[in-house]
Structure formats: C-alpha cells, structure tokens
C-alpha cells in the first residue's frame, strides 16, 4: 500500500489496529493529536469516569467548523465468526475489514486528512476548525460528548457548523446525509395485580390480562403524522416480564419496557401526558418510571446542508438525499451549542456486524468531501 497515495486508508488502518472497545480509547485520540498538533491545533484531553474526550481547535475567529466523532467501538462478538481478526485490518475484495472500519474510524481518518490538505492549500484561511472526539458514544454516552459540550457552553464557546462522521450513506457514498434525528424517550411500566392460583382466578387479578388491551391501544395510537423532514412518531414495546416460573400461578405484577422515537411534532411532555392518560383510562394500578431521553434536532436547508450537498456532488456526482430516520447520535448533545449540524459518513450496511467493512474506493473521496465542506464554509482570508 502506498500510504502517500492513500493516506485516509493508511490512517484508518492505524486506528482499527487500536482495540478501543467502549469506553476505552486505546490511544486513538493520542494518534489524532500527533497529526493535529503540527497543524496548529490546541488540543485538550477531557477525561471523565474512564472516558477519554478530545477537544481540538485551530483558530479563534468565526465561523467555527467542527468535525465530531467517536473512537470507541462495540465488542466484536465471537471471534470465530469473523473471517479475520477484527482488530487486525485486512484488505479483501476491495474492502477494508475490521471493527470500527465503517463506524467510524474511517470518518475520523478522513477528517484529519481533509484538514491537512485544506490547510496545506489555505494556511491563511479564516475562521476556526475544530475536532470533538469521544470514547463514549457506543456506551451510555454519559461522560463523552455531553461533557465536552457542557465545558464549551460554560466557556461561552459555540459552533457555527458541525459535521458528525456517523455512517449515513445507504447504498453509495454520499447518497444520504442526516440533517436531523428523532428524539428517544424510554420508560418502564410496572402493572400491579394480585397473585393467586390459576384455578381460582376470582381471587386474583392477572396483570397480563389487564395490560393486554393497553398495549394494543398504545401500538395502534397515531401519535403524530411527522412532517416534511421526520417520519411519524412510533411507540415500541421492547420487553415484557411477568410470572414466577410456575405454570399454575397468576403473577402479581408485570413489567413492560418501552421506547418512543419521536419527531419535534410530539414534544416529550406531550407524549408522557398522552401515555399516562391511556393508562388511567384503562384503570390500571401501576408505577411508571421514565428512564431515558434524547431530544430531537433538525438543521433545515441552509449553508451547511448546501455546502455538504455541493461537496458530495463535486466528488461523486451524487445528488444526496436528506434524512432524519434511524437512531440517536451524539448530534443530540452538540445541537445545544451548534447552529447547523449534519451527519455524513460511509455506507452503513455492516456497522455493528460480524466482518464489518468499508469500501476502500470510498475512503479518499470521503476525505475529499470533508475538505470540500471546509472550502465552502471558511473564508479564503482572515476576516470577520
């Protein structure tokens, strides 16, 4: 491999070889800092509860263009299921295999190469370039990006534009960018009954029977119809648990865990109120705990979306599509201090799977797209 000709591939390989199982960064951020330091970046390491975070910034002027991502990866599962060691990058059939190749070490490498090449051509570019990297995206996300955002907010630092390197592409590089994400609202419902012998149901109250029509109504409810950007809000039951293990005992309680994926059309408080109104209408005796929440965010068409779409078209010829589908990302935290945010990365078909891989032919173009975004957003000379 000619590292000079394919620098994004070379750096991606280096990152994959570092076994950064969440929340262990395993030296990935130190590797990135070694590349960013000579470019004039001021690098800060922010550690929290075993999580490593990097905030790197070059310049003090606005606009601030930030690239954001994560170095942690999910566990590979049984190694015997992989055709090669998930932490020993292998090139095979035009693809680079390894855990994190698509999610999202290739994006991190592409960020760095894009910045290096942009600054080589435009060392006097105005504005600022920043990099926000965490090792706590695949985990609970309590000590990662959210902590960096809190620190920046306390210092009064804001971002004008942010590109999150999550693998957004569906079939070909750049065919889809995420300009928003649905919110996530989770809860645990405990329905109370009265335990008893199945032969004497009149002496008991079966919480399974009590909750069945409630679940049917919740599943059939139209929470909203979405909008031009977001699909309709959905409610899903993810687990039900009841019973003592004996077949002749009516259980005394039942536990349901559930999740809303919601658009801005249904705020969190509205969903909570409507959910509890259904429970009360059915006369349930229950306890309810709301266990997790991530708010939705949206970047309408504007300078960042247009710059990203133009850069994709210039490199690949593809007319990109905007999407707000899928799960949550760290963009939900960054949106608190950033005016415009999109997610753009490689094809996501193999993320979190055995034999995760990325197309080698996509790596240098991905870096070129990121560089094109910088060229379109940062002024040619120091001003502002």
What SS3 class is residue 78?
coil
- Beta-bridge partners for 183: 262
Q: Strands 176-178 and 249-250: what pairing? A: unpaired
Q: Which of 24, 25, 72, 375 is catalytic?
A: 72
Which residue, among 123, 113, 128, 111, has the nearest Cα to 65 in the 3D structure?
Answer: 128
**Whether residue 340 lies in the annotated active site:** no
Distance CA 232, CA 342 (A): 21
Interatomic CA distance for residues 92 and 69, integer angstroms = 26
What's phi and psi for 299, nearest 5 deg?
A: -115, 105
Quote the distance between the C-alpha of residue 145 and its chain's center. 11
| Catalytic pick among 103, 136, 137, 356 | 137
DSSP 60: S
Distance CA 77, CA 99 (A): 10
Q: Is 72 a catalytic residue?
A: yes
C-alpha 320/C-alpha 312 separation (Å) is 7
Burial class for 384, CB neighbours closer than 10 Å (0-12, 13-18, 19+): exposed
State whether the Cα torsion 156-157-162-166 is positive or negative: negative
Q: Look at residues 68, 62, 52 and name the one whose alpha carbon lies nearest to residue 334.
A: 68
Long-range Cβ contact pairs of 79-88 (< 8 A, separation 24 or more) = 81/354, 82/354, 82/355, 83/355, 84/355, 86/356, 87/16, 87/17, 87/18, 87/19, 88/17
Structure tokens at 269: 């408080």
- Residue 372 tokens read as 């094109």
What the block records as the tokens of 91 is 């090139």
Cβ(72)–Cβ(24) under 8 Å? Answer: yes
C-alpha 316/C-alpha 321 separation (Å) is 14
Residue numbers annotated as active site = 72, 137
């Amino acid at each position: 491999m000619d590292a000079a000709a394919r620098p994004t591939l070379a750096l991606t390989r280096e990152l994959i070889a570092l076994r950064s199982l969440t929340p262990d960064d395993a030296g990935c951020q130190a590797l990135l800092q070694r590349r960013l330091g000579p470019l004039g970046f001021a690098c800060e390491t922010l550690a929290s509860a075993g999580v490593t975070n990097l905030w790197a910034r070059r310049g003090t002027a606005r606009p601030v263009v930030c690239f954001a991502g994560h170095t942690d990866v999910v566990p590979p599962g049984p190694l015997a299921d992989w055709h090669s060691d998930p932490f020993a990058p292998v090139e095979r059939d035009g693809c680079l295999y390894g855990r994190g190749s698509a999610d999202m070490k290739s994006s991190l490498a592409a960020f760095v190469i894009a910045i290096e090449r942009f600054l080589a051509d435009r060392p006097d570019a105005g504005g600022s370039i920043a990099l926000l990297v965490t090792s706590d995206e695949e985990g609970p996300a309590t000590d990662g990006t959210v902590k960096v955002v809190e620190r920046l907010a306390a210092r009064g630092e804001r971002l004008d534009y942010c590109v999150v390197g999550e693998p957004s592409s569906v079939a070909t590089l750049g065919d889809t960018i995420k300009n928003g994400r649905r919110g996530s609202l989770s809860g645990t419902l405990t329905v109370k009954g009265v335990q008893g012998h199945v032969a004497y149901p009149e002496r008991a109250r079966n919480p399974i029977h009590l909750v069945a029509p409630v679940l049917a109504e919740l599943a059939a409810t139209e929470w909203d119809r979405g909008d031009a950007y977001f699909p309709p809000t959905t409610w899903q039951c993810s687990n039900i648990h009841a019973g003592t293990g004996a077949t002749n005992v009516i259980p005394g309680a039942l536990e349901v865990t559930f999740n809303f994926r919601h658009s801005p059309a249904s705020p969190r408080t509205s969903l909570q109120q409507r959910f509890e109104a259904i429970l009360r209408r059915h006369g349930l005796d229950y306890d309810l705990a709301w266990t997790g929440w991530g708010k939705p965010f949206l970047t309408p068409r504007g300078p960042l979306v247009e710059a990203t779409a133009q850069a994709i078209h210039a490199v690949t010829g593809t007319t990109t599509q905007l999407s707000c589908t899928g799960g949550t990302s760290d963009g939900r935290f960054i949106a608190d201090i950033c005016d415009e945010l999109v997610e753009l990365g490689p094809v996501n078909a193999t993320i979190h799977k055995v034999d995760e891989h990325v197309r080698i032919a996509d790596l240098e173009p991905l870096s070129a797209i990121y560089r094109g975004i910088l060229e379109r957003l940062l002024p040619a000379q120091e001003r502002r």
